[in-house]
Each structure stands twice: as C-alpha cells, then as structure tokens.
Structure 1
Amino acid sequence: MAQAKLKIKKGDKVVVLAGKDKGKQGEILAVHRDTNRAVVSGVNVVKRHTRPGPQGQGGILEKEAALHISNIAIVDPKTGKATRIGYKFLEDGRKVRFAKGSGEVIDV
C-alpha cells in the first residue's frame, strides 16, 4: 500500500473536526504515516489499565490515542480557525506550507 502525502507535521497546532472532541485544539505529538493517524495532545484521551511491573506501579493511566488525519485540520496562524494547506516556493527557493484561508506561511 502506498503511503499518502501528509501535510501535517509533529508540532503543528491543529483543531479536531469530528468525533467526541470536536472543536478542541492541540499540538501534534506524533504522526503515524503508515496508518494515516496522528496523536494530538489533550485530545482523544483513553484510559489504559496497566499491571504493576519493574517500570513502576500499575493502575489506570490516561493517554492520548491516535486520530485519523481526515478528522483534524491545521489552525490558521492569522484567524485561529481550521484551514487547508497549500505549498509554494519563496523567493529564496524554499518550499513552504501556507494556509489557504489567509495566505499566511506556516513553516518559518
């Protein structure tokens, strides 16, 4: 299976478009390219029951689970709303991502 070209990166500020956490914003902690999923801080928190072991105490831990990338969108730096992403080349030849809503460059 061919991997999709993802327009999101670790560290991007995103907003959730669908699901139980719709409207929440967070930062991307990890991107799983093979499954087209991303882990967002503070979003889609699940409880994990762990057994005690050498690493530490057991108990019920809360951690973020991955979301499908179709359910998240990058936050426009200018307006603070969800936006689509495009690519363009700057005068110095660098290829950067920009918000299609406002035209603001995302990669600095």
Structure 2
Amino acid sequence: MGKMHVKKGDAVIVIAGKEKGKKGKVIAVDTAKNRVIVEGLNQVKRHTKPSQNNPQGGIITKEAPIHASNVMLVDPESGKPTRVKVVQQADGTKVRTAVKSGKAI
C-alpha cells in the first residue's frame, strides 16, 4: 500500500502514453498496484456475456487503469500539470498545494 499523490475526484492530466495531454477526473485509485482510473481515458472494449445486470450482453466500453506515475494534478490557476506539496497552516491543518502557483487544491 503506497501513498499516492492523487485522490479520487482530482482533476489530472496524462503526461505519458497514448493519452498524453488529455485531462480527466480520477474515478478510482488502487494504492496496492499504484494505478488510477481516469474518467473517459484509456478506454477498452470488453465482450460480455448476458447477465442479471446486463441481460443484452454484447460489447461494452470502459476505462482501464493507468499507472499513477503517468498522471499529474492540474494546477487550479493555470490548468497546467503541477507537482503537489503538503503545507501545514497556522491552525495545524494540512492542505495539498500546487507547487507552481501555490494555490490549494
């Protein structure tokens, strides 16, 4: 179980691979495998048998996981990729902050 620089719901940009330069929202995080699933990116087609949930069966399209090292958080100010640092505020709470702009994420 590794510590991740992204969380569910974060806006990220892909920095490597076939989806390079595309932005999306993190749907799920797998800390054991160090992978994330980004909404609308890295889509694959799956042939599924008819089941209770999907009585029709057929070909469905869903997102496949991407390695966490291939995504970076989007800077809320500029919209560009940025690293993240954790800043402790005066009242003792910790806030994730964009390194480029210094804005809280």
Q: Where on the TM-score scale, by shorter chain, does this alignment land: which range?
A: over 0.9
User: Counterpart in 1 of 2:43?
Assistant: 45
Is 1:104 matched up with 2:103? Answer: yes
Note the C-alpha offset of 1:53. Answer: 1.9
Query: For residues 52 and 29 of structure 2, what CA distance do their matches in structure 1 show?
Result: 29
SS at match of 1:70: helix
Pairwise CA RMSD: 0.8
1:55 and 1:6 mapped to 2: Cα distance? 33
Q: Does 1:23 align with 2:12?
A: no
Q: What code does the residue aligned with 1:63 have?
A: K
Give distance in 1, aligned partners of 2:43 and 2:91: 42
Please report how far the alpha carbon of residue 38 of structure 1 lies from its aligned counterpart in structure 2 after TM superposition.
Answer: 0.3
Gaps of 5+ in 2: none
Report what 1:32 is aligned to: 30
Aligned to 2:72: 73
SS at structure 1 position matched to 2:9: coil
1:87 equivalenced with 2:86 (yes/no): yes
**CA–CA distance in 2 between the matches of 1:94 and 1:8?**
19
1:40-83 Cα distance to aligned partner (Å, 9 max, x none): 00100000110112222111100000000000000000010000
The amino acid that maps onto 1:38 is V
Which residue of structure 2 lines up, in the alignment, with residue 5 of structure 1?
3
- In the alignment, structure 1 segments of 5+ residues that lack a partner are none
Task: Give aligned pairs, total.
Answer: 104
Q: Percent identity?
A: 51
In the alignment, structure 1 residue 14 sits paired with structure 2 residue 24: no
Q: TM-score, normalised by structure 1?
A: 0.93
> What TM-score comes out, normalization by structure 2 length?
0.95
